[in-house]
Chains A and B, each alone.
Chain A
Amino acid sequence: MENTTPAPAEPTEVANAMIAVESVERHFGSIRAVDGVDLEIRRGELFGLIGHNGAGKSTLFKMMLGLLPVSAGHIRIDGEDIHAGNFREVRRRIGYLPENVVLYDNLTGLETLRFIAKLKNCSREECVAALETVGLSHAANRRVREYSKGMRQRLGFAQSLLGKPQLLFLDEPTNGLDPEAIRAFYATLRGLRDSGVTVVLTSHILSEIQERVDRLAIMAAGKIQALGTVQSLRERVDLPLRVEVRTEAALGGALTAILGSFGITPRPVEAATDRLVFDCPRQLKMKLFGAVAGLGEGVADVSIFEPSLEDVFFGFAD
């Protein structure tokens, strides 16, 4: 996918951190599931946390939520320790959607939200509004056992919105959602972010979040291997751009020669005499395009593809 957005500079200090993770460790016996993580997530940010299974992201997620104590270090939510005496106030500001949550089959969608709402001191009206936000108003009075997987996931998202949280933790939030529902889900998230809500999410579907998060962290072996915007990570990992050039068939040889002068070998493209695809080192991009432009009007089109988040992920995580 094309992306030429310039990478914003990574600030060294974040004064307005919603979540501050300071030198946090979590040990399970001799295993260091989280090993000295420092991380600040800004207020009103849509933040992604990605990593292999066992990378430590779920453990970090649970520690940020206060579900697991830290073995060392500190975690502060909006300046307050999640485990401190006023944890109720802190938690009222948090919404959470666990991965693969199975809510109560014998309750209706509305009853499920009413139950959670009572524990969060929210009104019935909020429950109705949350169902409307996720597009489940029509199924409010149906038992959850009759819900499809996608509807259950949307109900899970609805409960996380109760209490107008300032901070949302969403673990694999689009599991089971169809493309239309995924689009609606991210539109809702953007609306929440624009109103100042901080969103932290994990996802295995990297292509889905690469254009949607403001920043992300890549975890591996209990550590944060990379942190920044998708674009800044692309540049840091120094992966080549993929370039596709369409020319008149007669110019194929000339183009191949130009590429060869830059040390680039084009990939074979099946049944295409008018098209060359090749990897271009980022630093050669402008020089190469200048040379290609010299071929004149015989060049019909040039497409540049940034490395995908998956490429970036493997670049850091492996």
Chain B
Amino acid sequence: MDISATLTIAGKEFRDRIRNRWVLAVALVFTVFALVIAYFGGAQQGAVGFRSVEFTIASLVSLVIYLIPLIALVLGFDAIVGERERGSLELLLSLPITRFELLLGKYLGLASALALSTIVGFGLVAAVMATETGADALPAYLLFTLSSVLLGMAFLSIAVMLSVFAADRTRASGLAIAVWFFFVLIFDLLLLGALVVTGGSYGGDIFPWLLLLNPADVFRVLNIFSLEEVRNLHGLATVFPEAIAETWALTLVMLAWIAAPLAVATWSFRK
């Protein structure tokens, strides 16, 4: 494998997003949303202002689950099919690089842009909160930020895979939206519906394991179990098996969600 070729492609993708202010725009979105949620998150309880980091994380998890998968899918859906439509894919493939190097370079460049936006966006909020509420819980916030990056990378990996499979950009965008609906809105409803229909008599034991089939749920669980106070806020601590409630185990699952779609994309792209 030629690392320099991969990095060249990654560097171009990353610079493109810096130059067209994509990184800046997304970082601003994250900052504004996170600040609003951190400050007004307690309004329902009749109070505003910065509260504990745990409370802020619990509020932000819901936002991130909706927002980051959408941004990642929008970012990556035309990574390959866009090049194909422009006619530049043939040119790139005629160069002395492999299809895997091209795909990985594309992915790494886009993932770097997404990670930078996420870290900058949530990092600014962390700085504000550290001055307001102290820095004790910052490690937990750091974990939240890093898991947000992993969530973005997982959905970006799915987007790149769709981009390889799709015949054109229109279909790729349609598939990306369908994937977002499925994982963010429908998946949990299906699981819940199955439990309700069976009265909980079937599948109750495997229910927590089925959550691992959805990167958005893995992210949710990862953050719920990171802090005692957050666990209590969600009230799920007792139903989740300890075997998969470990941060490292959930992180591995998230990494698998990054690697698997990329592997499928590479397999298909090589054909």
Minimum C-beta distance from A82 to chain B (A): 10
Q: In the complex the two chains form, what is the Cα distance from A169 to B95 in whole Å? A: 12
Q: In the complex the two chains form, what is the Cα distance from A67 to B8 in whole Å? A: 21
- Contact yes or no, B95 A99, CB < 8 A: no
Q: In the complex the two chains form, what is the Cα distance from A145 to B91 in whole Å? A: 19
Tell me whether A106 is interfacial, beta carbon within 8 Å.
Answer: yes
What 7 A-B pairs come out closest when comparing CB atoms?
A: A88-B96, A96-B94, A91-B96, A102-B86, A101-B87, A118-B8, A98-B90
Q: In the complex the two chains form, what is the Cα distance from A194 to B266 in whole Å? A: 41
- Chain A residues with CB below 8 A from B16, complex form: 104, 106
Minimum C-beta distance from A65 to chain B (A): 5
Minimum C-beta distance from A200 to chain B (A): 13
Q: How many residues of A sit at the interface, in one of the four size bands? A: 20 to 34
Q: A88-B2, A106-B16, A106-B20 are in contact. Are A116 and B95 (CB under 8 A)?
A: yes
Q: A99-B87, A101-B87, A106-B20 are in contact. Are A67 and B95 (CB under 8 A)?
A: no
- Contact yes or no, B96 A87, CB < 8 A: yes
- Contact yes or no, B19 A67, CB < 8 A: no
- Over the window 67-84 of chain A, the binary record of Cβ atoms lying under 8 Å from chain B Cβ atoms (1 yes, 0 no) is 100000000000000000
Residues of B16-40 contacting chain A, CB below 8 A: 16, 19-20
- Chain B residues with CB below 8 A from A159, complex form: 91
- Chain A residues with CB below 8 A from B8, complex form: 115, 118-119
Minimum C-beta distance from B38 to chain A (A): 35
Which residue of chain A has the shortest Cβ distance to B94 in the bound complex? A96
Q: A88-B2, A106-B20 are in contact. Are A120 and B87 (CB under 8 A)?
A: no
Q: A102-B86, A106-B20, A115-B8 are in contact. Are A96 and B91 (CB under 8 A)?
A: yes
Listed in ascending order, the chain A residues whose CB lies under 8 Å from chain B are 62, 65-67, 87-89, 91-92, 94, 96-104, 106, 115-116, 118-121, 159, 169
- Over the window 85-114 of chain B, the binary record of Cβ atoms lying under 8 Å from chain A Cβ atoms (1 yes, 0 no) is 011101111111100000000000000000
Q: In the complex the two chains form, what is the Cα distance from A119 to B105 in whole Å? A: 12
- Contact yes or no, A103 B88, CB < 8 A: yes
Q: In the complex the two chains form, what is the Cα distance from A98 to B228 in whole Å? A: 59
Tell me whether B234 is interfacial, beta carbon within 8 Å.
Answer: no
Minimum C-beta distance from A112 to chain B (A): 10
Minimum C-beta distance from B206 to chain A (A): 42
- Contact yes or no, A101 B95, CB < 8 A: no
Which residue of chain B has the shortest Cβ distance to A93 in the bound complex? B96
- Chain B residues with CB below 8 A from A87, complex form: 96
- Chain B residues with CB below 8 A from A89, complex form: 96
- Contact yes or no, A91 B12, CB < 8 A: no
Q: In the complex the two chains form, what is the Cα distance from A121 to B9 in whole Å? A: 13
Q: A118-B8, A119-B5 are in contact. Are A104 and B88 (CB under 8 A)?
A: yes
- Contact yes or no, B94 A100, CB < 8 A: no
- Chain A residues with CB below 8 A from B94, complex form: 65-67, 91, 94, 96, 98, 169
Q: In the complex the two chains form, what is the Cα distance from A159 to B97 in whole Å? A: 16
Which residue of chain A has the shortest Cβ distance to B93 in the bound complex? A67
Q: Give 12 A-B contacts (CB < 8 Å), ordered by A residue.
A: A67-B93, A88-B2, A89-B96, A92-B96, A96-B94, A98-B91, A100-B87, A102-B86, A104-B88, A116-B91, A119-B92, A120-B95
Q: A106-B19, A106-B20 are in contact. Are A119 and B90 (CB under 8 A)?
A: no
- Contact yes or no, B91 A119, CB < 8 A: no
- Chain A residues with CB below 8 A from B88, complex form: 98, 101-104
